[in-house]
């Protein structure tokens, strides 16, 4: 790598064209026809086909998708989704895209796909978004500026960034594979369908409430309405987000872990083995009674389809009465150790994935701005 000289900054409208997508009526929507690409078809910088809309209506030729078009979300109810994009491939050639999306079309798109992922692009979006309308106009998009190297250097940079993209994709697939293996293993080991060598005693039915003690987190709650963006102590919820933020409140930190936090409203639960404070009194803090392996019971709870309740004391009145067939304490611990090893393998892959993503971000900051230059032979 060498230090850069400045590249010219050009406007997107000078090197390509931005196209606004199809407007269609509800009665145009059919079970089959032309796929209309929308915001939901862009997930984590990739095409997704879990939520598709098809129309049976005339499509202007200019807004039929071409390979290497870049699809961009330009209008959305959620401000944070404005600007998410994906480079389109041959799977969607001659399909179309909705009116809340745009397509940018140019010969430089293999390079520009990374510009559209960059902080420079996000900064220009923020400068153009209105105070009340979450929308980038066609004029705004065409006015965005990009530092553009020669076509030869674009190819070198794209090849380097594609290498890290392939590593990210490989790690994501490995994580998905390991998680699927763990899920299948859990179905066998946690239900007694498969027994570990040396264990033959029959499993016995026991209620969750007989195996787990519980506490209301009253004195462990965050006591202020401060922004949870600083501090050393995690603030937890049992919902999907899990860690809401961090606090510096010193009083009432829960230290007697490991525990399971359980949300009476959502029935979501998490295994926690670090100091924390709780956000909601609807959370229950569950701990193992003598002769019970908490990690084993937590994993078993993930297989239970808890009925949703309508108040914050459902653990006491309903959920604690759920029965599980459980083995001896020693077999619980043996199974728990296997599940923990599987989780540690996935966690290691996740750390590698996070490092690869951070590496890509750093590379983009250097390569897309010309701060660092790659030798020409890197393209070979």
Neighbours of 378 (CB within 10 A): 15
How far from chain centre, in Å, is Cα 245?
17
Statement: 8-148 belongs to CATH 3.90.220.20 = yes
pLDDT at 276: 92
pLDDT at 2: 44
List where CATH 3.90.220.20 sits in the chain.
8-148, 204-326
pLDDT at 309: 64
* Phi and psi torsions of 272, nearest 5°: -125, 130
204-326: CATH, from 3.90.220.20, 3.30.450.20, 3.40.50.2300, 3.40.50.12780? 3.90.220.20
Tell me the two tokens of residue 324.
């599980």
pLDDT at 380: 43
Residue ranges in the chain modelled with pLDDT below 70: 1-5, 130-132, 224-227, 229, 239-240, 309-313, 376-380
pLDDT at 226: 62
List where CATH 1.10.287 sits in the chain.
150-189+330-380
Q: How far apart are CA 117 and CA 154, in angstroms?
A: 16
Quick one: CATH architecture of 150-189+330-380? Orthogonal Bundle (1.10)
pLDDT at 4: 47
Q: Comparing C-alpha atoms, which of 241, 248, 242 is closest to residue 227?
A: 248
């Amino acid at each position: 790598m060498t230090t850069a000289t400045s590249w010219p900054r050009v406007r997107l409208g000078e090197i390509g064209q931005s196209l606004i997508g199809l407007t269609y009526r509800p009665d145009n929507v059919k079970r089959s026809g032309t796929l209309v690409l929308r915001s939901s078809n862009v997930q984590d910088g990739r095409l997704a086909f879990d939520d598709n809309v098809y129309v049976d209506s005339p499509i202007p030729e200019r807004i039929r998708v071409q390979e290497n078009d870049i699809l961009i979300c330009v209008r959305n109810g959620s401000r944070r989704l404005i600007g998410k994009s994906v480079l389109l491939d041959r799977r969607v050639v001659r399909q179309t895209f909705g009116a809340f999306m745009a397509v940018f079309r140019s010969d430089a798109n293999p390079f520009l796909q990374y510009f559209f992922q960059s902080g420079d692009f996000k900064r220009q979006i923020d400068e153009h978004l209105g105070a009340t309308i979450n929308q980038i106009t066609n004029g705004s998009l065409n006015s965005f500026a990009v530092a553009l190297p020669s076509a030869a250097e674009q190819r070198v940079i794209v090849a380097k960034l594609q290498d890290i993209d392939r590593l990210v994709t490989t790690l994501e697939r490995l994580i998905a594979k390991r998680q699927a293996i763990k899920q299948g293993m859990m179905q066998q080991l946690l239900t007694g369908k498969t027994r570990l060598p040396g264990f033959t005693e029959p499993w016995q039915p026991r209620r969750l409430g007989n195996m787990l003690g519980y506490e209301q987190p009253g004195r462990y709650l965050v006591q202020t309405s401060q922004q949870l963006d600083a501090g050393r102590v995690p603030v937890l919820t049992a919902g999907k987000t899990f860690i809401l933020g961090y606090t510096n409140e010193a009083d009432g930190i829960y230290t007697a872990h490991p525990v399971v936090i359980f949300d009476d409203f959502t029935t979501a639960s998490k295994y926690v083995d670090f100091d924390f404070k709780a956000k909601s009194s609807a959370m229950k803090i569950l701990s193992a009674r003598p002769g019970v392996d908490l990690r084993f019971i937590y994993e078993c709870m993930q297989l239970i389809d808890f009925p949703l309740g309508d108040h914050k004391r459902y653990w006491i009145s309903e959920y604690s009465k759920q029965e599980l067939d459980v083995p001896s304490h020693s077999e619980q611990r043996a199974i728990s150790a296997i599940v923990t090893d599987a989780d540690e393998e996935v966690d290691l892959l996740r750390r590698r994935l996070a490092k690869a993503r951070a590496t890509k971000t750093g590379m983009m900051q250097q390569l897309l701005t010309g701060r660092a230059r790659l030798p020409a032979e890197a393209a070979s």
